[in-house]
Amino acid sequence: MSIRSADSVLSLETIDKTYDGASKPALDRVSFSVAPGEFFSILGPSGSGKTTILRIIAGFETPDRGRVVMGGTMVNDTPPFRRDVRTVFQSYALFPHLTVRDNVAYPLRMQGEAKGPRRAKAEAALALVEMSPYAERLPHQLSGGQRQRVALARAVVSRPKILLLDEPLGALDLRLRQQMQHTLVQLQKELGIAFVYVTHDQGEALSMSNRVAVMRDGRIAQLATPREIYFEPRSEFVSQFVGRSNLVPIRFEPAGSDFVAVIEGTRLPAITSDRPGPARMALRFESVRISPRNGVAGPSSALPGIVEDILFLGTNCEVAVRCGELSLIGSIPAERDTTLAVGQPVHVDFDLTSTQVFRD
C-alpha cells in the first residue's frame, strides 16, 4: 500500500537532519505518508532516528532539508502549538498536583474551553481508556499503567488529527504492555485519528500497525505491512530485527540448467537461483522442523543433527540442534511431555515457503 501525499494527513518528504556537532546524520532522506486513521509504526534499534522523526513532526526540531506536510499544507515553519498533533511519551509527565480529571482537561483549559464542556470531554476521554472511576485521584495514587492511560486520555481529549507516541509502553511490565496494546488499537479505531507509534519492540509494531517503517541509521530500511515485513524482509537487517530467525550460510551449486541451494551438504531443491556461489538464507525458528531420528532415514532434504539444548517458553520450546558446522534453532509447540531431549539424534528439515535468500 502506498499513500499519495494528497490523501494523507501527514507526509514527510526527503527529510535530512544532522544535529549540531554530530558526525553523522540522525535522518537521511526520510520520506513517508500517513493515511487518515492509519496506525503507522516506526520500528528500529536505539539511535536509529525514531524520536528525531517524531520531534520533527511535532515541530520541536527543524529539518535541514525536506518538507513536513499536514493536510496539504507545508508546516516546516509552523510552531508546535499550532500543529494538530499531540504526543505521548514513555514517561507520562502528568501534573502531580492536579486530579486525573483536571490533568485530562488541561489541554482544553489552555484552549480556553468553558468549564462545562471541558469536564464533559475529559469524562468522555477517561471513559475511552476505562479510567472513569479514578477521576478524583492524584497521579501518585495510580499505578504506572493507569498513569499511562490518563496520559493517553489527555493526549486525545482535544481530538487531534495525529497522535505521536514515543515508546509509550516502555516503562510497563510485559502483561500491562500486552493489555495496553489492545487498549491502543481499540482507542485508535474508536477515535479514527492517525497514530504514529515509535518502538524498538518488533512485537508491538507487528501486532498493532497498518504499516511499519523499519529504521536503520537514520534511513528507512523497509516500509510495508507487518506481514510483508515479517514474511518478506528485504534485507538481512530487517530479517534479523523482525522476528526470530537463523541466518544460515548456503551455496548455490549446478543442478541441470539451474543452481540449487546446498546447506551443510544437503540439497534444498525448492531454493534455486540463476547463478552459483555463496549466499545466506534466513530461516525463521518456526520454519525449522525437528523430528526424532529413531533409526529411520529422514526425507532426502533433511539434515541429521543432535539436540544441544531446549528452552521451555510456555506455548513453545526453542530447540538448538547441531548439524555439523551449523547450529540451528527451531521452535516447536510445547507439549506436556516433551518428546525431545538434549543429546538426542534428530532430523531437521525446513518449511521453505517464506524463506528469504540474501546475496552480497
Ligand X SMILES: Nc1ncnc2c1ncn2[C@@H]1O[C@H](COP(=O)(O)OP(=O)(O)OP(=O)(O)O)[C@@H](O)[C@H]1O
Shortest CB 46 distance to ligand X, Å: 3
Looking at 33, 41, 52, 209, which residue binds ligand X (CB under 6 A)? Answer: 52
Question: How many Å apart are CA 83 and CA 70, to the nearest integer?
Answer: 8
Looking at 12, 15, 34, 44, which residue binds ligand X (CB under 6 A)? Answer: 44
Considering only 46-54, 136-144, 316-324, 349-357, which stretch makes contact with ligand X by CB under 6 A? 46-54
Q: Which does 139 bind (CB under 5 to 8 A by kind): Mg ion, ligand X, none?
A: none
C-alpha cell of residue 210: 497498518
- Rank residues 47 and 265 by Cβ distance to ligand X and give the closer one: 47
Q: Which does 46 bind (CB under 5 to 8 A by kind): ligand X, Mg ion, none?
A: ligand X
C-alpha cell of residue 348: 531437521
Residue 49 binds to ligand X (criterion: CB under 6 A) = yes
- Contact between residue 316 and residue 334 where contact means Cβ atoms under 8 Å apart: yes
Residue 48 binds to Mg ion (criterion: CB under 5 A) = no
Residue 48 binds to ligand X (criterion: CB under 6 A) = yes
- Rank residues 10 and 283 by Cβ distance to ligand X and give the closer one: 10
| Strands 85-88 and 162-166, sheet pairing | parallel
Residue 139 binds to ligand X (criterion: CB under 6 A) = no
Q: Which does 183 bind (CB under 5 to 8 A by kind): Mg ion, ligand X, none?
A: none
- Contact between residue 308 and residue 324 where contact means Cβ atoms under 8 Å apart: no
* Residue whose C-alpha cell reads 476505562 in the numeric block: 130
**Other Cβ atoms closer than 10 A to 135:** 19
Buried b (16+ CB within 10 A) or exposed e, 173-204: eeebbeebbebbeebbeebebbbbbbbbebeb
**Other Cβ atoms closer than 10 A to 159:** 13
Angle between helices 100-110 and 115-128 (to 10 degrees): 130
Residue 87 binds to ligand X (criterion: CB under 6 A) = no
Question: How many Å apart are CA 165 and CA 39, to the nearest integer?
Answer: 11
Looking at 9, 15, 26, 68, which residue binds ligand X (CB under 6 A)? Answer: 26
C-alpha cell of residue 11: 507526509
Residue 47 binds to ligand X (criterion: CB under 6 A) = yes
Residue 51 binds to Mg ion (criterion: CB under 5 A) = yes
Binding interface with ligand X (CB under 6 A):
19, 22, 26, 44, 46-52, 200
Binding interface with Mg ion (CB under 5 A):
51
